[in-house]
Amino acid sequence: MTDVSIPPVAPVAPGEGRPQWSVMIPTYNCADFLRTALEGVLAQDPGPDAMQIEVVDDCSTADRPEAVAAAVGGDRVRFYRHPANVGIANNFTACLQRSRGRWLHLLHGDDSVYPGLYRRVGSLLSSRADIDAVVVGADDIDEAGIVIRKNVPLRPRQQTLDDFEQGIFSWNPLRAPAVMARRSVYESMGGFRPELRYCADWDMWKRMTSRFRLLYDPEVLVGYRIHGRSDTAKMDHSVEQLREMIDSVVIGHGYLPDGRSRAWTREFYSTTRDWALHMLRTGDQRPAIKDASGYATIVVESVLRQQADRILARTAQWHRT
């Protein structure tokens, strides 16, 4: 059955030009970082016949990303601005829907790419018909582009992520700009869930991992920027964020209906419980996250869901044996 909450990504219309790459860059109030993102892509640009480069802006209010796109890329970079703010997940989905390339890279406007990314990943995708997506290494960088956390390899060498389901269903170890996939993958799965704000990418990787084959390359080829203006940073450990993380886990159980994911996510609930208890004890004064009753609810729900999943996981194991 098709999940009606997941927006479709239609195939490219017959006869429309199909470059190998679509580099789609969602932005919202991050024009100062957009220059770096675009410069990194344009330095590897194989030309308009081989690469679509487009910025999709979610109606920014604090800056003018269209001016940056024009100054850095001129006519080479297409720019689309939503007439009204549509939200993170819907803007990501619009990037997928507007893409035309055979391979798709969703590059957040505040992240960056390193030299050789598209040549290396393109070579892998063109030579491995059995691979649907490639995940590369990613460093965490600060506002100035300085590495603040070096890449922690998922695997010691280049290999398929055949046993990755347990890792991705229990936590999200992937950085969004590190994932590049065939457009047909998104056509099959659909776009990002609009009800998810902080976990939309995690939900997408769970769907992708459960249905397609991913290749991991430990070469560090992207930078994931961590800064105080991002939505994730502003709401870090908030009740709203923890609530959505739990919702994402519950949704994800439906992607693997045999019950395996319930055994894998028990540790996750320990994390949300501990974070909520920490916030209760420290009494964080940020207005956006000062919510004692909300944190108490997260604690109770985490404990109850952990116990319920333990029972359901054992029941599923008995049925499988």
Q: What is the three-state SS of the chain? A: CCCCCCCCCCCCCCCCCCCCEEEEEEECCCHHHHHHHHHHHHCCCCCCCCEEEEEEECCCCCCCHHHHHHHHHHHHCEEEECCCCCCHHHHHHHHHHHCCCCEEEECCCCCEECCCHHHHHHHHHHHCCCCCEEEEEEEEECCCCCEEECCCCCCCCCEECCCCHHHHHHCCCCCHHHEEEEHHHHHHHCCCCCCCCCCHHHHHHHHHHHHCCEEEEEEEEEEEECCCCCHHHHCCCCHHHHHHHHHHHHHHHHHCCCCHHHHHCHHHHHHHHHHHHHHHHHCCCCCCCCCHHHHHHHHHHHHHHHHHHHHHHHHHHHHHC
pLDDT reported for residue 41: 98
More confident residue, 4 or 152: 152
Q: What is the pLDDT of residue 232?
A: 59
Provide the pLDDT for residue 149. 95
Whether residue 95 contacts residue 147, with contact meaning beta carbons closer than 8 Å, is answered with: no
Q: How confident is the model at residue 312 (pLDDT cuts 50, 70, 90)?
A: confident
Short-list 272, 86, 286, 87, CA closest to 197: 87
Q: What pLDDT does 260 receive? A: 80
For residues 61-73, give the mean pLDDT. Answer: 96
Of 120-124, 223-227, 260-264, 295-299, which range is least confident? 260-264
Q: Is the pLDDT of residue 44 over 90?
A: yes
Using the structure block, give the residue that is written with the tokens 């390193």: 114
The residue-averaged pLDDT of 63-77 equals 97
User: Where is pLDDT greater, at 275 or 35?
Assistant: 35
* pLDDT exceeds cutoff 90 at 290: no
| pLDDT-based confidence at residue 128 (cuts at 50, 70, 90) | very high
pLDDT band, very low/low/confident/very high, at 207 (cuts 50, 70, 90): very high
Residue 286 has pLDDT above 60, yes or no: no
Statement: residue 81 has pLDDT above 50: yes
Query: Is residue 11's pLDDT more than 50?
Result: yes
What is residue 1's predicted lDDT score, i.e. its pLDDT?
A: 39
Q: What is the pLDDT of residues 154-165, one digit of tens each?
A: 999 999 999 898
Asked whether the predicted pLDDT for residue 64 surpasses 90, the reply is yes
Model confidence over 229-275: pLDDT tens digits? 656 555 677 888 999 999 999 999 999 877 788 888 878 899 899 98
pLDDT reported for residue 246: 93
Contact, 293 vs 239, CB < 8 A? no
Mean per-residue pLDDT, 290-297:
85
Indicate the pTM of the whole model: 0.91
Task: Report whether pLDDT(310) > 90.
Answer: no
Instruction: Say yes or no to pLDDT of 320 above 80.
Output: no
Task: Choose between 320 and 313: higher pLDDT.
Answer: 313
Q: Is the pLDDT of residue 3 over 90?
A: no
What percent of the chain is predicted at pLDDT more than 70? 92
pLDDT band at 289 (very low <50, low <70, confident <90, very high): low
